[in-house]
Amino acid sequence: MSNAIIVNNLYRYFGPLKAVDGINFEVSHGSVCGFVGANGAGKTTTMRVLSTLDYPTMGTVEICGINVVNHPAKVRSLIGWMPDHFGNYEHMTVLEYLDFYARALGYSGKERQMRIQEVMEFADLIPLADRLSNKLSKGMTQRLCLGRALIHDPQVLIMDEPAAGLDPKARVELKHLIRILAEEGKTIFISSHILSELGEMCDSLLFINNGRIVHHGDAESLKQGTDGVGGQLYDIQLLGSPQALADWIATNPYAEFIESRKQGGRVRIESLETASRVLASMVKDGLQVIEFHREQRNLEDAFIDMLEKVNTPPQMPKAAATASTEGTPH
């Protein structure tokens, strides 16, 4: 069976502006994929094409094997779309709001009642049934949006910044609901700026920058730095002058001094294999190392490293530039 979402060479230009600039990715059935990017990176534009709300300039998108441009109605029956803003419906209660959408989706009679009851129970909306939908808190509003997106029991859920503006408790509740949906086998494609939370709930993370995909992988490998992005970060502490560390690192082709800390500093080392050789060289050169600790990067660091990497013009790596004369670290 092909993947739930297949995006092939997708472009979306607005005049000269390349909002989405030739992206490719796939999301497997029943997985949660986080879509990460700075403001204006192209997330909403991509999600709108996936949700049949906009046409690509070029390229194809398939949801559960169905082409979004050729068969939009079929795709709409397969997806639940949660936009980043809530349309205001004055004088409509939560129950009336869901009933309105259930009717619009073609449900009638007992089936409609059952669908509404199911989503209200799932999103904890029953106590809010008679509340006006435009007078809810942000967290309640997001639960209502989620309920609405689930009325037709879609296989794929596309959520644009669902956690934006939520307090920590509401974010935890939302995360819990998303995990339950994934366990039920739904595929979830979710954009967010809150990277630490995406890391916890997503099976994979897709990074977009200036309309281009710059990384697709799992959160753990990104944090560990085992995917070659940004190297390994170490906290190194010395006896004696902390400046000695910065001076020594400046002469080593495999390490980069990031910032000073009390007794030393934070250092980026090219790879795990190189780290032990760097440590051996430091000791050999007389540095009194009292701590050499590999840090786990958080997702924010990984994201910033990623952006730096793609925004820096290619140049000869420090190691390669000196390898011919040095061969090994020191």
Min separation Cβ 316 and ligand ATP, Å: 33
Interaction between residue 252 and ligand ATP (CB under 6 A):
no
Nearer to ligand ATP, 44 or 141 (CB): 44
Nearer to ligand ATP, 43 or 115 (CB): 43
CA atoms of 241 and 264, how far apart (whole Å) = 8
Min separation Cβ 99 and ligand ATP, Å: 31
Length of the chain, in residues = 330
Min separation Cβ 42 and ligand ATP, Å: 5
Min separation Cβ 43 and ligand ATP, Å: 3
List the one residue out of 66, 71, 79 whose CA is nearest residue 155: 79
Cβ burial of 210 (10 Å; 0-12, 13-18, 19+) is middle
Q: Which residue reads 């803003």 in tokens?
A: 85
Min separation Cβ 17 and ligand ATP, Å: 5
Residue 232 CB neighbour total at 10 angstroms: 21
List the one residue out of 270, 253, 249 whose CA is nearest residue 329: 253
Interaction between residue 85 and ligand ATP (CB under 6 A):
no
Contact present, 102 and 116 (Cβ < 8 Å): yes
Nearer to ligand ATP, 40 or 240 (CB): 40
Binding mask 13-52 for ligand ATP (x = CB under 6 A): -x--x-x-----------------x-xxxxxxx-------
Min separation Cβ 307 and ligand ATP, Å: 13
Contact present, 79 and 156 (Cβ < 8 Å): yes
CA atoms of 106 and 321, how far apart (whole Å) = 66
The dihedral of CA 127, 129, 131, 135: what is its sign? positive
Nearer to ligand ATP, 25 or 101 (CB): 25
Footprint of ligand ATP (CB under 6 A) = 14, 17, 19, 37, 39-45
